[in-house]
Amino acid sequence: MTSAGRFAPSPSGELHVGNLRTAILAWLFARSTGRQFLLRVEDLDRARAGAEAAQLRDLTAVGLEWDGEPIRQTDRSPVYDSALGRLTAAGLTYECFCTRREIQEAPSAPHAPQGAYPGTCRNLSPAEREIRRASRPAATRLRADVEHRTVQDLLHGSYTGVVDDFVLRRNDGVTAYNLAVVVDDADQGIDQVVRGDDLLPSTPRQAYLASLLGHPVPEYAHVPLVVNHDGARLAKRDGAVTLADLAAVGQPAEEVRDTILESLRLPPGPLVNALASFDPLALPREPWVWPPLAPGRRNSG
Ligand code: GLU
């Protein structure tokens, strides 16, 4: 089995500098440890026509190269079905008929962690399930037998988070992100997951699910996000944030790449130059604020 890292964008629109910075970091982590670097298009949800091709173009424009062809989640339903089938055969799933509202309004069990599914459908009798099936398609949830799990993260250390009866398949039939990501990482031989630290809270669930499916738990590095000057996570509405926007205001892709590298305290130029100086433990741990306050500072001193 290969040893690999990856970048797994959702093709919901153009990549912004925050996504590109995470992609560059994932590449640096993988390449500096002799791993392959793979791409996965997470298009189960939120896919927009043309976005995938544009994202791959932008990754290439900042100098990223990946191994093999990207895989696409919408091509992989049989693999997800088979993983779900194994969990179900082991008695580890159940049907859930709750609406979002019912979940919000349900009294949570004493001591249940905040945000955890309250367990409403966990112990429905066959007759109750039959009645509910007539009114609403079921989602499939995991029957978790732990409430927390601890994972190790290269940047965050030991992190303990909630594991609840999370959704594996939504009631519209779409495989849930937490199942797809675990199955895909295992199938692609990915043993290093580098991604934005907004996903750290999902990681204990994913590590737990990987163990249930008999997969090794990858090494994790959750990297700081890029934020705007109000401290909010960067978004399209924050002005010039994509390569196309930035090119239009006179910043070509190489310059954006160099600005990103500078924010990581790495030397500018082709990404291979940064590899030699890359030290995960020396990375800034705070969110990076975009746009940087003194653009062009590199050239003015
Ligand atoms: N597709 C997710 C996103 O774009 C990333 C998932 C992951 O890296 O595990 O936010």
Q: Model confidence over 147-206: pLDDT tens digits?
A: 999 999 999 999 999 999 999 999 999 999 999 999 999 999 999 999 999 999 999 999
- Stated as kind and residue range, the H or E segment containing 300 is helix 297-300
Question: Which atom of ligand 1 is nearest to 195's Cα?
Answer: 8
Cα 194 to ligand 1 centre (Å)? 10
Q: Of 72, 181, 203, which is best to mutate to test ligand 1, by the most ligand atoms within 8 angstroms of its C-beta?
A: 181
- Which domains, from first to last, does the chain contain? 4-75+224-289 (3.40.50.620), 78-178 (3.90.800.10)
pLDDT at 37: 98
Q: Phi and psi for 168 in degrees, rounded to 5?
A: -105, -35
**Tokens 């993260």 sit on residue:** 153
Joined tokens for residue 217: 């738990």
- 203 contacts 148 by C-beta, under 8 angstroms: no
**Block residue for tokens 């964008």:** 9
Calpha distance 98→1 (Å, rounded):
40
**pLDDT for 214-231, tens place per residue?**
999 999 999 999 999 999
Residues with CB under 6 A from ligand 1: 8-10, 42, 181, 195, 199
pLDDT computed for residue 301 by the predictor: 34
pTM of the model: 0.95
Q: Which two tokens stand for residue 69?
A: 């062809």
pLDDT of res. 297: 52
How much distance in Å is there from the Cα of 8 to the middle of ligand 1? 5
User: What is the residue-level pLDDT of the chain in tens, covering all 301 positions?
Assistant: 679 999 999 999 999 999 999 999 999 999 999 999 999 999 999 799 999 999 999 999 999 999 999 999 999 999 999 999 999 999 999 999 999 999 988 887 777 777 899 999 999 999 999 999 999 999 999 999 999 999 999 999 999 999 999 999 999 999 999 999 999 999 999 999 999 999 999 999 999 999 999 999 999 999 999 999 999 999 989 999 999 999 999 999 999 999 999 999 999 999 999 999 999 999 999 999 999 986 555 444 3
- All residues at 6 or more sequence positions from 249 whose CB lies less than 8 Å from its CB, including other chains: 240
